[in-house]
Structure 1
Amino acid sequence: MNALREHGASASAGRTIQPAWVRIAHWLNALAAVLMMLSGWRIYDASPVFKGFMIPPGITLGGWLGGALQWHFAAMWLLFFNGVFYLAMNIVCGRFRSKFFPLSPRAILHDLGEALKGHLSHADPSRYNAVQKFAYLFVMFDIALLIVSGLAIWKSVQFPLLRELMGGYDVARVVHFCAMVLLAGFIVVHIAMVALVPRSLLTMIRGR
């Protein structure tokens, strides 16, 4: 029995779990998201949404407003095109449906409870639990919201309908900032989970 378990673990470790295109898209998205947040914080400081709250300059990118905008727009295009590629490949390959569905509120609450108690199994890294499915779907939606609200801010005159759908320019800025906070929160939790299960990082680097 032990030999069979060892053989199964060896086979699991040797097979490809994350294809190359998933790993490349993942790291490009991570790079773009970090660059956009750091440069976005510098842009925020130039005209704060919430009076009295400023981001410490030492953790911002760009040095000044013009430089921050250049970094922000460069990272924005990387995030947009890489995100479109990631979604398209997931849909075409059938990975989107197989990896993220089925999903139900009951399953999310159950797996969240197990995770908080330390009982959630990570025996098969090729399968996402319900909390992971929800988290990844959430961050996809959040990035889409960042792009849409960013467009409403950047091209407010060119996209008046989009601006109005967002509730106006000032509301779009608040939505953009809040979506950024949620993305930052996701990144912190994601890194914490990787620290708890280090082999997930190796899987995203090596693919197996």
Structure 2
Amino acid sequence: MSSLTVTDEQVRATPAKVIQPAWVRVMHWINALAMILMIMSGWQIYNASPLFNFSFSRDITLGGWLGGALLWHFAAMWLLMINGLAYLITGLATGRFRRKLLPISPAGVIGDVKAALTFKLSHDDLTVYNYVQRLLYAGIIVVGILIVLSGLSIWKPVQLYYLVMLFGDYPTARYVHFFCMAAICVFLVIHVALALLVPKSLRAMVIGR
């Protein structure tokens, strides 16, 4: 009985493992806010000149009209660019990206997808990303870079003509921007669903432990 008591005390005295450092948590939530503002204002901008035969409901857009949406979009753009650039630099400088996101292999991704579909994918160690998470997080970084570059091309097509040419032409840059936005929306749905399925991952992103 005494040994059990000692064990309990030792468990309580053991400091909780830091899963998400403070800089990751702060930048994560700033990115989340900036991304939501950009998506909602972007939908209002899209409605002013649709690429496809549909428009977004005004209930889920931001800005009220084209001018207001542009103001929100540009304000959130600077927040996303500055915070995103700081996140990229810090992630590379600290080696976090290399540790967390590499390696990625087709066999590993396929194996983890099968495990997830059969509810056999382990979530015990939150400090290690599975292959599906690595692919999603690495992919969304690439998508984030593309959406910024295509957005700058749309914003200043004359001054930044070299960026426009990177995508081929102005209309193509618009399509790239739209599909990157769609990819981010899909990622957010999956990301939130996984956080709800594994609540301790959400807790770690709030308090770090």
Tell me which interval the TM-score lies in, with the shorter structure as reference length. over 0.9
* 1:18 corresponds to which of 20, 33, 36: 20
Letter in 2 for 1:183: I
Distance 1:196 1:156, change over 3 A: same
| Displacement after TM superposition at 1:159 (Å) | 1.3
1:27 aligns with 2:29: yes
Partner residue of 2:62?
Answer: 61
What aligned pairs does 1:52-201 form with structure 2 within 5 A after superposition? 52-201=53-202
- Given the two structures, how large is their TM-score scaled by the length of structure 1? 0.93
Distance in 1 of aligned mates of 2:191 and 2:133: 10
5+ long unaligned stretches in structure 1: none
8 and 69 in structure 1: CA distance in 2 versus 1, 3 angstrom threshold: farther
Q: Write the letter of the residue equivalent to 1:30.
A: A
The whole-number CA distance in structure 1 between the counterparts of 2:138 and 2:13 is: 29
Q: Deviations over 1:55-92 (max 9, x none)?
A: 11110000111110010011111111111111111111
Cα distance in 2, alignment partners of residues 120 and 11 from structure 1: 30
Deviates more, 1:88-97 or 1:178-187: 88-97
Runs of 4+ that moved beyond 6 A: 5-13
**Cα distance in 2 between the residues matched to 1:46 and 1:65:** 7
Alignment partner of 2:122: what SS? coil
Q: Distance in 1 between matches of 2:149 and 2:122?
A: 37
Aligned twin of 2:42: 40
Question: Per the alignment, do residues 199 and 156 of structure 1 end up closer, same or farther by CA in structure 2, a change over 3 Å counting?
Answer: same
- Report how many residues are paired: 205
Mapped to 2, the partners of 1:63 and 1:13 lie a distance apart of 49
- Structure possessing the higher radius of gyration over alpha carbons: 2
Partner Cα separation in structure 2 for residue 11 and residue 188 of structure 1: 38
Q: TM-score, normalising length from structure 2? A: 0.93
Change (3 A) 1:7 1:138: farther
Cα distance in 1 for residues equivalent to 2:124 and 2:38? 35
The residue type paired with residue 207 of structure 2 is R
Offset, 1:12: 8.7
- Quote the Cα distance in structure 2 between the aligned partners of 1:96 and 1:8: 33
Distance 2:163 2:90 in 1: 27
Letter in 2 for 1:202: R
d(CA) in 2 for partners of 1:109 and 1:161?
A: 38
3-state SS in 2 of match to 1:108:
helix
Change (3 A) 1:8 1:129: farther
Question: Which structure 2 residue ranges, 5 or more long, are not aligned?
Answer: none
**Which amino acid in structure 2 is aligned with residue 38 of structure 1?**
M
* d(CA) in 2 for partners of 1:68, 1:185: 22
| Root-mean-square deviation (Å) | 2.1
Counterpart-to-counterpart distance in 1, 2:66 and 2:107: 46
